[in-house]
Each structure stands twice: as structure tokens, then as C-alpha cells.
């Protein structure tokens, strides 16, 4: 289960792009009767999420100000703090600019404890805190890590085409272990998927253990020896990817890299990793400005470069802050453009058609990432999975599979290993395709390719068959002299005209090319 509340929100909330500007601290005058509330308060029995440790209220420059300290987000300032009849009321910002600030209350109960009630993401907090001391405050104090000054990284030559591979998350979530990863890797080789181009084997959330006395992050018991696993993959022509967060916690509540950025990058490089997905998660509640979020991604980008190991850097902050405009500058080779995909046509289509990033941001070395593939997970028809693959290919999207390779059908394997469709995705020109027109449920897309040919697709988002008049102009051509059907692996006599597209289906062609003038 993903514990991170951001991801339990409706997709519509997660998908819209925005920036966060935290409200200013309260400037209201300290009310009478705040004396007893002031000081340090300690939560002794707080649930893991959000790991409430302490609360401090004090008068500064004549105003009452306060902070909640949590394991997940560090110190969270109280906004619009007022006290009336002994009850303190304040707002706590969730970090996500689209989630309204929640109102919290704190008051002293007859037993002398501070009774704190509020909401953070999906979690309702109703806890008591005992009066603490300065020593308590230093115990729960959150060590704030410095962020680098802005300085754009230069391209390093990796990811000249969109990365291809597999990730554990969509199928296994955090229930993943060394034996399963090895078995998937073996199947990647024996099924021909590796030879079709899928080389990254990415362990998503759930591999992390705890830090040792020197702060070095260890894998958990499910991954006895990460270096040995990397060696196993490398010996088979595969590469290893890992996952972390710039925040204190990952989305599933595992240890993030906060305060250990350089150290973690060195640890991973020593294990031999080739890919890192860096997921904002709890950093969302900690890095409250766009500038700090960008700097947090830059910090890891710099740290990875300093290891001297070529590591593909995958940014995952759900497409916020116009990431496509700065993703490369922090060293990113791909950046998520959306919230999470799920294994259903509606979500896949919303993401693939409407949230796949700005085409002008993508190109060799840096790609829009509309999230990993769901092909083979069973929630969609083969026709819909063919749409999923076609849409990702025309969008120059990374092809990171997300199913259990050990039990896939031949139909699923055929979809994933269609070399002509993969060639569209991996086209060396690296231009992301665009929507040419939309007519109700029908969408026409085209993508120019390096050999002068054009990938042309008509998609039907509706639930009944639809007819569309597809013309050479849709591909930016005067006429179609040659057409090839990549799914059927055969030439097509299509030269323009009406075609029928099945429900949730696609009609995909590669038209013209070096042997035919447009
Ligand atoms: C977030 C990401 C997912 C996955 C999970 C892991 O939801 O967007 O892709 O990595 O975290 O917890």
C-alpha cells in the first residue's frame, strides 16, 4: 500500500499543474490567555504517519507563533494562529497547493495535557501532548539540510532515446524482493524483451531498510545484497534501478534521502546502480517553494554526477512546477508529467492523451514521462493495451513495463516486443508526437521520424466503433505514397480516406519515408 496521502487524492487533483506559495506566518497579535499554551509540547505516542513529535508555541516580536514537528515533513509552521477562550486555532499547509489548508485546534485539557486535533492529508490527528522542556525540543528538533544554489548541469549524453525497462511498482507495490527481481530479470532475457530493448530493472519503493550508525542506508531484509543483485543483472546485459525521495520519507513510508543526499548517491554508485527514480513524496510537505523543490532535485542530480557513474535520473514530482522546462538542468533524463497511472482505460487515456507533457520539452537526453506501462496487468483489453503502447510510442515516452513477466500471455508479449512500434518510440530524432485534431472521442496524432517518415495514428476514446476521415495533411504531407502497418508488420494500401477505429482502439501507420517523396 502506498501510504502517501497525495496519491490517495483523486487524479484530477493530482494532475493539474501548479506551484506552491506558503501563506505567510500569522501577524495577528498574541491574544490574552496564551501564557499556558506557550512552550514545548511532546507527543509520546504518535502514529507513524505523519509522525508527530512535538509542538512549540512562543511569542516572537509580540506575536504568537508556532510549529509542529513531524517525521515525515520536518517542521510545519502554523498559519493564521489565533487564540480565543484558551483554544489555539491554526492552519497547517499540506504542501500540495491544490489541497486547501486544514484548520487545527490545540487546547489544554483538565489533565494538563495539550489536546491537538487536526487533519493532514487523509490522516485525522487527535492526540495529547505533555509539557516538555528545552531538552525535549532539541531531541525532536529536525536537522534542516542545506540546499545548493541554482546552477544548471550540462547534458551527460545518457538517455538519447527514451529509457526502456521494467519497474516493480505497478504489479508488486512495496511487496518486492531479491528473488522476484532475479526471476523477472531471467524472464526479460528468455522472453526476448531484453533484446527488444528493455534493459532497466527498476526496484521501486520498498527496498529500503534503516541507516547504520554512520548514516549509511541499508537495504531491508528482502534484499540481502544489493551489489550482488546488480552484478547478477549486469552479467545478463541488464541494468539496475533504485528509488528514493528528496524528503525524509518515501511515498510508502520508507527511508528517504533527506539529509543524506551525497551519502546515498555514493552508496548506490558503489552497489552499481544505473538508474534512480527520485519521488517527491514527503518532500512535498517540506519543500514549500518551487525554488526549494528544484534545488532538492538539483542536489541529487549533482550528487549522482559526482559519483562518476552514469546513472539515469528519473524525476517524479507529478509534473508540477513546469518540470519540463528545468528537468534537464537538474540532471534529469526523464520527468513524470502526471500523478500515478492505474490499470484502467480511463486513467491511462487521461494521462496519455491529456497529461503527457509539452512536446517541445522532450528530445534526446530528456523525456516527458507519462508514467510506467500497465500492459499485461489485466485491467484492460488487449486492444486497449495496444492503444497504450501506440500512444506511449507516438509520445516518445519511456517504456517501463509494470507487469509480472513470469505469467504474461503471448498476446501481451507480442505487444511489448513489436519492434516496429518500439522503433517509433525509440526514433533517434526524438521529437514527441502531437495531437493534430480531436473530434469528440476521436483523436488524430502524428510524429515526425528521423528517416523522413511520419507515425500517424487515429485513436478512438469512445466505447463504440467510430469512423474517421484520415488524410495526408494529418501527417503534414501532400500525399501518402507508402504506408506500413507496424502492428500487422505489413505494407498497407492506405493513401487517405475513411477508416474505422474499434472502441478504445487505435489505427497506427508509418507513412512515407526515405523511399517515397512526400
Ligand atoms: C508514487 C509514485 C509511484 C510509485 C510510488 C511508490 O506514488 O508516483 O510511481 O513510485 O510512489 O510509493
Task: Please tell me if the CB atom of residue 252 comes closer than 6 angstroms to any atom of ligand 1.
Answer: yes
pLDDT of residue 5 exceeding 80: no
pLDDT digits (tens, 9 = 90+) for 251-308: 999 999 999 999 999 999 999 999 999 999 999 989 989 999 999 999 999 999 999 9
Cα 25 to chain centroid distance, Å, stands at: 30
Task: Tell me the C-alpha distance between 426 and 412, whole Å.
Answer: 20
Looking up cell 486555532, which residue turns up?
89
Residue nearest to atom 9 of ligand 1 (CA): 340
> For residue 358, what are the CA distances in angstroms to 160, 166, 403?
18, 24, 27
What is the average per-residue pLDDT within 53-77?
Answer: 93
Name the residue with the closest Cα to ligand 1, atom 1: 251
Q: What integer is the mean pLDDT of 302-318?
A: 98
Ligand 1 close to Cβ of residue 99 (< 6 A): no
Name every residue whose Cβ is closer than 8 Å to that of residue 49 and which is 6 or more positions away in sequence.
3, 72, 123, 253
Is 340's C-beta closer than 6 angstroms to any atom of ligand 1?
A: yes
Of the candidates 279, 321, 361, 427, the residue annotated as catalytic is 279
Cβ–ligand 1 distance for 204 under 6 Å, the answer yes
Angstrom CA distances, 194 to 181, 401, 432, stand at 14, 12, 24
Query: Which residues, 6 or more positions from 240, have their beta carbon under 8 angstroms from its beta carbon?
Result: 200, 201, 202, 203, 229, 230, 233, 234, 271, 272, 273, 274, 275
Contact 357, 370 (CB under 8 A): yes
CB of 251 sitting under 6 A from ligand 1: yes
Q: What angle do CA 464, 499, 440 make, to 5 degrees?
A: 50
For residue 71, how far is its CA from the centre of ligand 1 (angstroms)?
Answer: 19
Q: Which residue has the higher pLDDT, 33 or 230?
A: 230
For the Cβ of 329 lying below 6 angstroms from any atom of ligand 1, the answer is no
Residues near 506 by beta carbon (within 8 Å), at least 6 away in sequence: 386, 387, 390, 391, 457, 458, 459, 460
The H-assigned helical ranges of 10-105 are: 11-15
Mean pLDDT of 59-85: 93
Instruction: Calculate mean pLDDT across residues 14-24.
Output: 30
pLDDT at 46: 87
- pLDDT digit string (tens) for 36-51? 999 999 998 888 999 9
Q: Annotated catalytic, 231? A: no
> Residue 34 — very low, low, confident or very high, per pLDDT cuts 50/70/90?
confident
| pLDDT tens, position by position, 409-449 | 999 999 999 999 999 999 999 999 999 999 999 999 999 99
Cβ distance 273 to 242 under 8 Å? yes
Note the pLDDT of residue 513: 80
pLDDT at 478 over 60: yes
Mean pLDDT of the chain: 92
Q: Going from the N-terminus, what domains does the chain have, and what CATH number goes with each?
A: 11-139 (2.40.128), 164-425 (3.20.20.70), 434-512 (2.60.40.1180)
Which ligand 1 atom is the nearest neighbour of the CA of 251? Answer: 12
Asked if residue 143 has pLDDT above 80, the reply is: yes
Does residue 489 carry a pLDDT above 80?
Answer: yes
Task: Pick the atom of ligand 1 nearest to 6's CA.
Answer: 7
Cα 313 to ligand 1 centroid, rounded to whole Å? 15
In the three-class reduction of DSSP (H, G, I as helix; E, B as strand; rest coil), residue 106 is classed as strand
Instruction: Name the nearest CA neighbour of 109 among 137, 86, 133.
Output: 86
Q: Establish whether residue 326 lines the binding site of ligand 1, counting it when its CB lies within 6 angstroms of any ligand atom.
A: no
- Going by alpha carbons, the residue nearest to atom 6 of ligand 1 is 205
Residue 280 Cα to ligand 1 midpoint, Å, equals 9
Local structure of residue 231 (DSSP, 8 states): H
**Which listed residue (177, 264, 340, 371) is catalytic?**
340
Partnered with residue 211 across adjacent β-strands are 217
For residues 335 and 129, give the distance between their C-alpha atoms in angstroms, rounded to a whole number. 41
pLDDT digits 0-9 by tens, 373-417: 999 999 999 999 999 999 999 999 999 999 999 999 999 999 999
Asked if 177 and 190 count as a contact pair (C-beta separation under 8 A), the reply is: no
Mean pLDDT along residues 24-31 = 45
Q: What are phi and psi of 3, to 5 degrees?
A: -75, -15
Length of the chain counted residue by residue: 518
> What is the pLDDT at residue 11?
30
Helices 261-271 & 226-235 angle (0-180, nearest 10): 50
Count of CB atoms situated within 10 Å of the CB of 126: 9
- For residue 284, the CA-to-ligand 1 centroid distance in Å is 13
What percent of the chain has a predicted confidence (pLDDT) above 70?
A: 92
C-alpha dist (Å) from residue 319 to 15, 68, 150, 251: 8, 28, 20, 16
Dist CA 127 CA 111 (whole Å): 13
The C-alpha cell at 411 is 498476446
- 451 in catalytic set: no
**How far is it, in rounded angstroms, from Cα 482 to Cα 163?**
30
**Is ligand 1 within 6 A of the CB of residue 400?**
no
How far is Cα 143 from Cα 320, in angstroms, rounded to an integer?
26
**CA of residue 397 to ligand 1 center, whole Å:** 18
Q: Which residue owns the Cα nearest ligand 1 atom 11?
A: 251
The answer to whether the beta carbons of residues 106 and 55 sit under 8 Å apart is yes
Q: Residue 316: CB within 6 Å of ligand 1?
A: yes
Q: In whole angstroms, give the CA distance from residue 205 to residue 175.
A: 9
Distance 170 CA to ligand 1 centre (A): 9
Q: Report whether 516 contacts 472 (CB < 8 A).
A: no
- Rounded CA separation 232/124 (Å): 45
**Cell numbers given for 20:** 506552491
> 288 or 33: whose pLDDT is higher?
288
Nearest to 250 by CA among 218, 198, 206, 298: 206
Q: 46, 134 in Cβ contact below 8 A?
A: no
In this prediction, residue 372 has a pLDDT band, given cuts at 50, 70 and 90, of very high
Give the three cell numbers for residue 184: 523477472
Ligand 1, from 14, 176, 316: best to mutate by most atoms within 8 Å of Cβ? Answer: 316
**CA 315 to ligand 1 center in whole angstroms:** 11
Q: C-alpha angle 316/317/318, rounded to 5°?
A: 95
Amino acid at each position: 500500500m502506498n501510504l502517501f496521502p497525495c496519491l490517495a487524492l483523486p487524479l484530477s487533483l493530482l494532475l493539474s499543474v501548479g506551484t506552491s506559495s506558503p501563506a505567510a506566518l500569522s501577524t495577528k497579535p498574541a491574544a490574552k490567555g496564551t501564557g499556558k499554551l506557550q512552550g514545548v509540547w511532546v507527543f509520546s505516542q504518535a502514529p507513524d504517519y505523519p509522525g508527530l513529535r512535538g509542538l512549540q508555541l512562543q511569542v516572537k516580536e509580540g506575536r504568537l507563533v508556532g510549529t509542529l514537528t513531524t517525521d515525515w515533513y520536518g517542521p510545519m509552521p502554523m498559519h493564521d494562529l489565533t487564540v480565543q477562550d484558551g483554544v489555539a486555532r491554526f492552519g497547517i499547509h499540506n504542501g500540495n497547493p491544490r489541497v486547501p489548508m486544514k484548520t487545527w485546534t490545540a487546547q489544554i485539557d483538565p489533565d494538563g495535557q495539550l489536546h491537538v486535533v487536526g487533519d493532514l492529508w487523509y490522516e485525522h490527528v487527535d492526540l495529547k501532548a505533555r509539557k516538555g522542556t528545552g531538552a525535549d525540543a532539541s531531541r525532536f528538533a529536525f536537522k534542516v539540510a542545506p540546499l545548493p544554489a541554482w546552477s544548471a548541469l550540462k547534458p551527460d549524453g545518457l538517455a538519447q532515446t527514451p529509457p526502456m525497462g521494467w519497474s516493480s511498482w505497478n504489479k508488486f507495490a512495496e511487496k518486492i524482493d531479491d528473488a522476484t527481481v532475479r526471476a523477472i530479470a531471467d524472464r526479460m532475457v528468455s522472453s526476448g524483451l531484453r533484446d527488444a530493448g528493455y534493459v532497466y530493472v527498476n526496484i521501486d519503493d520498498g527496498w529500503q531498510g534503516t541507516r547504520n550508525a554512520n548514516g549509511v542506508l541499508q537495504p531491508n531484509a528482502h534484499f540481502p545484497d544489493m551489489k550482488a543483485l546488480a552484478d547478477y543483472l549486469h552479467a545478463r546485459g541488464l541494468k539496475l534501478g533504485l528509488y528514493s525521495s528528496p524528503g525524509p520519507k518515501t511515498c510508502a513510508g520508507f527511508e528517504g534521502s533527506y539529509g543524506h543526499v551525497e551519502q546515498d548517491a555514493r552508496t548506490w554508485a558503489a552497489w552499481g546502480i544505473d538508474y534512480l527514480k527520485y519521488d517527491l513524496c514527503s518532500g512535498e510537505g517540506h519543500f514549500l517553494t518551487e525554488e526549494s523543490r528544484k534545488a532538492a532535485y538539483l542536489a541529487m542530480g549533482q550528487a549522482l554526477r559526482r559519483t562518476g557513474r552514469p546513472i539515469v535520473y528519473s524525476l517524479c514530482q507529478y509534473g508540477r512546477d513546469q518540470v519540463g522546462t528545468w528537468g534537464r538542468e537538474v540532471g534529469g533524463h526523464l520527468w513524470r508529467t502526471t500523478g500515478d497511472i492505474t490499470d484502467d482505460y480511463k486513467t491511462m487515456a487521461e494521462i496519455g492523451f491529456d497529461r503527457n507533457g509539452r512536446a517541445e520539452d522532450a528530445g534526446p537526453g530528456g523525456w516527458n514521462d507519462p508514467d510506467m506501462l500497465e500492459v499485461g496487468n489485466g485491467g484492460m483489453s488487449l486492444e486497449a493495451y495496444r492503444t497504450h503502447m501506440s500512444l506511449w510510442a507516438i509520445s516518445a515516452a519511456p517504456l517501463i513495463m509494470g507487469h509480472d513477466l513470469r505469467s504474461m500471455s503471448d498476446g501481451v508479449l507480442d505487444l511489448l516486443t513489436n519492434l516496429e512500434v518500439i522503433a517509433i518510440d525509440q526514433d533517434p530524432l526524438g521529437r514527441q508526437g502531437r495531437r493534430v485534431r480531436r473530434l469528440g472521442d476521436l483523436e488524430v496524432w502524428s510524429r515526425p521520424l528521423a528517416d523522413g517518415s511520419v507515425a500517424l495514428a487515429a485513436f478512438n476514446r469512445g466505447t463504440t466503433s467510430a469512423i474517421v476521415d484520415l488524410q495526408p495533411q494529418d501527417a503534414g504531407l501532400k500525399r501518402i505514397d507508402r504506408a506500413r502497418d507496424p502492428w500487422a508488420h505489413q505494407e498497407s494500401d492506405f493513401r487517405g480516406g475513411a477508416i474505422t477505429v474499434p472502441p478504445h482502439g487505435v489505427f497506427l501507420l508509418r507513412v512515407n519515408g526515405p523511399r517515397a517523396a512526400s
